[in-house]
Amino acid sequence: PDLTFIEELVRDISVLSERDMEVVLVSSGAIGMGKRELGTGKNFDAIPSKQALASVGQIHLMNLYCQFFQQYHISVGQVLLSAADLSSRSSYLNARNTLLTLLRLKIIPVVNENDTVAVEEIKFGDNDTLSALVAGLVDADLLVILSDIKGLYTEDPRRNPKAKLIRKVSCISEEMEETAQSTSVEGRIGGMQTKIKAAKIATRSGIPVIVGGKDRDFLPQLFAGKEVGTLFLPQQNRLTSRKSGLLT
């Protein structure tokens, strides 16, 4: 994990919190932290090994967030979710109530997929999709998906420097999805393709989505009203949190 990025992100979130904005942070990094603690020389390719890494790494990841947020006198709460938690009504409502209670208590929920039990997530999952489902879970006003590029482009900007940044998307077309698929890095989880998928889930739930983050001070610029990243406009009719949580 990029510790400088995490520290700056925490700083920006603390500013939003001071403005009485409720923030839910969806963060990956448990497996990466586990590798950092246990060493990269070992073979961790097997699923149980990755689950063990997540078990070790999640503790250290949360310790990082606790330390950084503590500088701003902000408490954090860990919320680990799996697909099963969002598939049954009772567990779905329990997760929703927990998140809303944390927000009411001015505590920042730090959400991650429960990698220690979510086999499919480790193989194919991504936290972009999880963030969209969590946004629906808490009836969020906005979903911000941070990326290592400025947003959605007309073409892959790494291959074509003339590619143009798309500032606003009112409807996600098949062409956009194909472009996003072509810009995804092979073997990497969480590329532009998964961000488009997450944007579809959230916007169908009536939640606008911003994808971006490469620019320095991205969040401060965004909440200062500046045009940054790509804005995906929501559908007119907003779904209830339970219905939005069932979208795929």
Q: What residue segments make up the domains of the chain, in order of their start?
A: 1-125, 126-248
148 by Cβ neighbours in 10 Å (0-12 / 13-18 / 19+) ranks as exposed
Residue 213 pLDDT? 85
CATH number assigned to the domain covering 126-248:
3.40.1160.10
Q: How far is CA 210 from the centre of its chain?
A: 11
pLDDT at 74: 98
Measuring CA to CA, how many Å separate 164 from each of 62, 92, 150, 168? 38, 40, 11, 12
Fold match, 1-125 / 126-248: yes
Banded pLDDT at 124 (limits 50, 70, 90): very low
Q: Across the chain, what does the average pLDDT equal?
A: 85
Q: What is the pLDDT, as a whole number, of residue 120?
A: 57
In this predicted structure, what is the pLDDT of residue 179?
A: 74
Tell me the pLDDT band of 122, cut-offs 50, 70 and 90: very low
- Reduced 3-state DSSP string for the chain: CCHHHHHHHHHHHHHHHHCCCCCCEECCCHHHHHHHHHCCCCCCCCHHHHHHHHHHHHHHHHHHHHHHHHCCCCCEEEEEECHHHHCCHHHHHHHHHHHHHHHHCCCEEEEEECCCCCHHHHHHCCHHHHHHHHHHHCCCCCEEEECCCCCCECCCCCCCCCCCECCEECCCCHHHHHHHHHHCCCCCCCCHHHHHHHHHHHHHCCCCEEEECCCCCHHHHHHCCCCCCEEECCCCCCCCHHHHHCCC
Q: In this predicted structure, what is the pLDDT of residue 116? A: 77
CB atoms within 10 A of CB 41: 7
CATH architecture of 1-125: 3-Layer(aba) Sandwich (3.40)
* Statement: residue 237 has pLDDT above 80: no
What does the pLDDT read at residue 243?
A: 46
The pLDDT of residue 37 is 86
Q: Is the pLDDT of residue 247 over 70?
A: no
Residue 35 tokens, joined: 């590798």
Share of the chain above pLDDT 70, in %: 85
Tell me how many degrees the CA angle 55-60-62 measures, rounded to the nearest 5: 95
pLDDT of residue 1: 66
Q: Which of 85, 89, 91 is nearest to 130 (CA)?
A: 85
Cα 179 from chain centroid? 21
Higher pLDDT, 101 or 216: 101
Instruction: Check: CB of residue 13 under 8 Å from CB of residue 25.
Output: yes
**pLDDT, tens only, 5-57:** 899 999 999 999 999 999 999 998 888 888 888 876 666 677 788 888 889 99
Q: Per residue in 156-191, pLDDT tens? A: 888 888 889 999 999 888 888 877 776 655 434 457
Sign, CA torsion 119/120/124/126: negative
Q: What is the pLDDT of residue 187?
A: 39
